[in-house]
Structure 1
């Protein structure tokens, strides 16, 4: 979502870091470029103006200009101000420590993703907070809105309030409260109706529901793709309804990101969650410091580790590590790793979370790569027999031709995958010679995994070993090109 803004800011700061010394004029020129980048990203003008003023005031101080690395100091100041603009350190938690049922009221315009977000939150509350949830649709205007929530409730295994035809929103809210108390529900989620635009009827209905339900949380759901208009919508709701937080949907889209950067400053309320995809588990707590790190190309290793913990079973990881250390890394193991990468969001998502990976990610895009590469690799391995997967050395010309035909790829693609597997095996042998897993850090630092065809780890030059300067090796680029 923040790719364009991140590219612009990275270019500005690369030039600053490349200079040994800075003067006040250098900083002010850089800040003018940052201001233009923010405005082009749809950041609200008052927010961009205040941000630049705060950064400039701190960046032109003598402690910065006379420091050993003034460029790095300026980047740190920008990072700190970005974090402050987005809401401060850490994610803002839901207020669930109230007498049950804790009511969460979802508000927003029609089409912003309220109903799907309600189901996502219901699943999150049940699975991560360990609380019993009940969902109720108060949308009597949009056709099949109540039925949609009921279907989503079945998919996430969260109860929904039975539908009573003709009942109005306030009455539905009362019935939902009574039902929640009778069922000893911890959290009640109310999915309110939306409109195509902010109007008096919409606000009156929400105020009436809030008066009956006395919600602990009133979350405004905003579509990130609406750009600058999302900020106007947030301002309108904030003026009329006692918001406690914001949920941004479609954060995985190609919006310019200004809505997210402006939302906290405009509403004064924290962004609590971000929708990151269409799946019902694609929602995450919005963490300002992590988002700022992604924007400035610093990566988001914490989120990467969390995704790995969610996607990879500890027993499987330990078993794979033992096999790799014992030199038994076969095609089945490679297939397991490829599927884990898919579960964690694919190559683009992973690259975006690693520090210093901006150039590598750009090189991937320029080489015509996308996440279909993981599917193609999986298809190649799936076309092998169990014996061939266990013993890749059996793959002769005849077998390769059969596997290529079965997977819809070319023989050269099969060769490149086999070569990547061999090089990964050699890297594992090198790690064993260096003392097992303890030697892994030394190997990464030395760039010794360069033979892994571009699937290594972060290198000192801001790319990956095997991706010097962020460049994709020719063999890997050919294999990963779109088909």
Structure 2
């Protein structure tokens, strides 16, 4: 998410490190690189200029210039202004007491509007709300079928039109049925167009006047850059939308739309789509996104997602085993499988403070494949070997396990050697809070799959070896993290 922007911004600010006390001259030089990074990310020009004016007003001053770590102080200023640029945001949907709440979703074709209707419905369903979907997109015949399939998938009723010519009548009938059935929330999937035109806006305005929705959300595609911002501005002028839902932020979107839309339209982004699944919808938190962009991580979102997706009973069993001093390779595998529910390892690394930079360093490595290789080794062991590999696995057994897993014996040796240290770390995590535990588990997972280490790849040509440049970057990253930890220990 926003990898290019994140790398550019952290690189721009990073050029100011090691210069001792910063001057106004080199501070402006750094901000000039920040400006370039934002423009390359397709942030609106006026937004960039206003943003830099605010950053300059805060940064070009004695408080920052005389700071012990001015570059870190500048990161704080940029983070604060990014939050101001995208916020504030109120995620609460005001529900009617004793009546049906009406949500209207609009947007251009291809923005992901119909899928987002299903995601919102799923989210409200998990909150205990009774939900109904109304298929009022009569411009795209497949939209009705798509919404019906989504409704069936998540167990939510879908009102489909009897009259395929009048979307206003469809919405009116759908709302009437929802009220009659005692539904808490009805979601209207309205028509889209390939581009904004008067006919579309007139149709949406008629629906707005007829059913008086409580909230109107605009769905925009982050991949379209400034076109998304222009669409938001046009829709808001016609309908006075209450919030934006930005989709496809899990792709290679440059980020300009997310950073520009609030400033240009005055309408906040309330939710963001981060995948194709019905659960891939997150609240939009400007402070958390700003943290991700600046490589500061987002442990809060990581923990929230873990609490939703992890098997809580299994987590409790693991906690009890750790407290009793037990941790085996089978426990490790279960924990890693739980962690995988959060998404690809690269995405999760970007949410851990200090590890965002590792994504670029390890871009050429297949970390998921390396973790699977470790799972293969564990699966080739007997239950007794998994419980205590360091004492039981001799050379004969190691060769047998390697053959069963399709790896080299040295890889089995590496896993066995690291198990004791890993077990000690995990036992030390017993009683830690969820945030601290997530940090440790994710660091361990990336270390276990680290292709620069012995565990991450086999000898010979059976794995993907890092290039010299990648190894250099990785070494530099490790040294940087070590210095940071050392400074923290002194503080």
Distance 1:308 1:267, change over 3 A: same
Among residues 351, 375, 378, which one is paired with 1:378 in the alignment?
375
User: Which residue number in structure 1 is paired with residue 84 of structure 2?
Assistant: 84
Distance 1:83 1:183, change over 3 A: same
Among residues 356, 366, 369, which one is paired with 2:366 in the alignment?
369
* Aligned positions of 1:108-127 closer than 5 A: 108-127=107-126
| Cα RMSD after superposing both structures | 3.2
Matches of 2:229 and 2:347 in 1, distance apart?
26
Deviation at 1:117, TM superposition (A): 0.6
SS of 1:246's equivalent?
strand
Q: Please give the per-residue CA displacement for 1:156-189, whole angstroms capped at 9, x wherever unaligned.
A: 1222114425352111101111111011111110
Among residues 298, 301, 320, which one is paired with 1:300 in the alignment?
298
User: Which residue number in structure 2 is paired with residue 3 of structure 1?
Assistant: 3
User: Which residue number in structure 1 is paired with residue 64 of structure 2?
Assistant: 64
SS of 1:220's equivalent?
strand
Number of aligned residue pairs: 460
User: Which residue number in structure 2 is paired with residue 245 of structure 1?
Assistant: 243
User: Which residue number in structure 2 is paired with residue 179 of structure 1?
Assistant: 177
Distance 1:232 1:385, change over 3 A: same
CA contact (8 A) 1:19 1:71 kept: no
User: Which residue number in structure 2 is paired with residue 168 of structure 1?
Assistant: 166
Matches of 2:99 and 2:381 in 1, distance apart?
55
Matches of 1:304 and 1:69 in 2, distance apart?
28
Among residues 435, 444, 448, which one is paired with 1:456 in the alignment?
444
Q: Please give the per-residue CA displacement for 1:351-377, whole angstroms capped at 9, x wherever unaligned.
A: 1111111333333324x1333434443
CA contact (8 A) 2:43 2:260 kept: yes
Matches of 1:99 and 1:444 in 2, distance apart?
41
Deviation at 1:274, TM superposition (A): 0.5
Matches of 1:64 and 1:97 in 2, distance apart?
48
User: Which residue number in structure 1 is paired with residue 189 of structure 2?
Assistant: 191
Which structure 2 residue ranges, 5 or more long, are not aligned?
466-491
Matches of 1:321 and 1:21 in 2, distance apart?
48
TM-score by length of 1: 0.86
Which structure 1 residue ranges, 5 or more long, are not aligned?
458-463
User: Which residue number in structure 1 is paired with residue 38 of structure 2?
Assistant: 38
Deviation at 1:338, TM superposition (A): 1.2
Among residues 458, 476, 482, which one is paired with 2:455 in the alignment?
476
SS of 2:15's equivalent?
helix
CA contact (8 A) 1:352 1:361 kept: yes
Matches of 2:19 and 2:41 in 1, distance apart?
27
Matches of 1:298 and 1:244 in 2, distance apart?
30
TM-score by length of 2: 0.85
SS of 1:353's equivalent?
coil
